[in-house]
Amino acid sequence: MVLEFKIDLVYHESDISDVPIVCVNGEIDVYTSPKLNDTLNKIINSENKEVVLNLEKVHYIDSTGLGIIAHNADMFTNKGGNFKVVCAQPQLRKIFDVSGLSKKNVKLFEAEAQALAQN
Amino acid sequence: MPTDLTTADRVELSIPCASDYVGVVRLAISGVATRMNFSVEDIEDIKIAVSEACTNAVQYAFDGEEKQSATIKIICNLHADKLEITVKDNGKGFDQAEVDRKKQQKSEGTAAVSEGEIPTLGLGLTFIQSLMDEAEITSVPGKGTSIRMVKHI
């Protein structure tokens, strides 16, 4: 099934600050990943110390998508922030494992609530 | 599908060298792999590997104006016991030793990154080799690149 690529940016209100949540829908590949990069760049350039990238509605991600996630995770971490990814799909988890990204600056969570609850 | 292992059904696809067509290849490859009764996990592995090979060609095989008229060929040979896929371009090719050197620099953090360039992880070929049962990359500078991949049923 072909799903249209869409990025929704919402803000979760917390006691400390509003946490941006980037919800992606569709496939992240060489064609769509620049749009994701643009969204993450805007957040990095703001005052936010934390971002949650929700991939629950993503059914495909390739190395260009992972590269953008890794690059932005580094940028965020270098600013003293947290880069969290929500991803429960076994196939996507496998891609993160094969790439080694799950052992780097990217924190993986199975649900959005978990990601928001952890500091 | 033929039971004779020396012959195979052949499915060919040719796409423009443009990123918006890589998704089309994934759909076609899904169809081929589904027809061969691969498992869901194997179909996903095959889709990723072929998509990565096409992405490599889109990103690196051609420059400038040459890219606008260039094509990438995807050839599938459907054997009784395996699916063999070759992704070919007649672009500029690459020197394997140079790629290995740059990969080493990336892992050491010493690779130069031009302004505006998004650093890649160099994972495309890693995925192909990890997810497929066989993978063979042949490239000749100035002539093009061919990536042959096999998944056994």
Q: Do A31 and B20 touch (CB under 8 A)?
A: yes
Query: What is the pLDDT at residue A57?
Result: 93
Contact yes or no for A55/A61 (Cβ under 8 A): yes
Alpha carbon of B132: minimum distance to chain A alpha carbons (Å): 13
Kindly list the residues from chain B whose CB atom is less than 8 angstroms away from the CB atom of residue A60: 26, 47-48, 51
pTM of the shown model: 0.86
B51 in contact with A, Cβ within 8 Å: yes
Model ipTM? Answer: 0.85
Kindly list the residues from chain A whose CB atom is less than 8 angstroms away from the CB atom of residue B52: 62-63
Residue of chain B with shortest Cα separation from A74: B119
Contact yes or no for A101/A69 (Cβ under 8 A): yes
DSSP string, chain B: --S-TT--EEEEEEEESSGGGHHHHHHHHHHHHHHTT--HHHHHHHHHHHHHHHHHHHHHT--HHHHHH-EEEEEEEE-SSEEEEEEEE-S----HHHHHHHHHHHHHT-----TTPPPP---HHHHHHHHSSEEEEEEETTTEEEEEEEEE-
Alpha carbon of B113: minimum distance to chain A alpha carbons (Å): 12
Query: What is the pLDDT at residue B86?
Result: 98
Query: What is the pLDDT at residue B108?
Result: 64
| Distance, CA of B25 to CA of A111 (rounded, Å) | 31
- Eight-class DSSP state of A32: T
Counting Cβ atoms within 10 Å, is residue A43 exposed (0-12), middle (13-18) or buried (19+)?
Answer: buried
Average pLDDT, chain B: 87
pLDDT digits (tens, 9 = 90+) for A33-85: 999 999 999 998 887 888 999 999 999 999 999 999 999 999 888 888 889 99
Contact yes or no for B61/B91 (Cβ under 8 A): yes
Buried b (16+ CB within 10 A) or exposed e, A101-117: beebbbbbbeebeebbe
| Distance, CA of B73 to CA of B75 (rounded, Å) | 6
Kindly list the residues from chain B whose CB atom is less than 8 angstroms away from the CB atom of residue A67: 118-121, 123
Kindly list the residues from chain B whose CB atom is less than 8 angstroms away from the CB atom of residue A4: none
Query: What is the pLDDT at residue A79?
Result: 86
- Eight-class DSSP state of A100: T
Contact yes or no for B119/A67 (Cβ under 8 A): yes
Alpha carbon of B78: minimum distance to chain A alpha carbons (Å): 23
What SS3 class is residue A33?
A: helix
Edge-first strand order for the sheet with B9-16 is B9-16, B71-78, B82-89, B144-152, B134-140
Kindly list the residues from chain A whose CB atom is less than 8 angstroms away from the CB atom of residue B23: 2, 27, 29, 31
Alpha carbon of B22: minimum distance to chain A alpha carbons (Å): 8
**How many cross-chain Cβ pairs, A to B, lie less than 8 Å apart?**
65
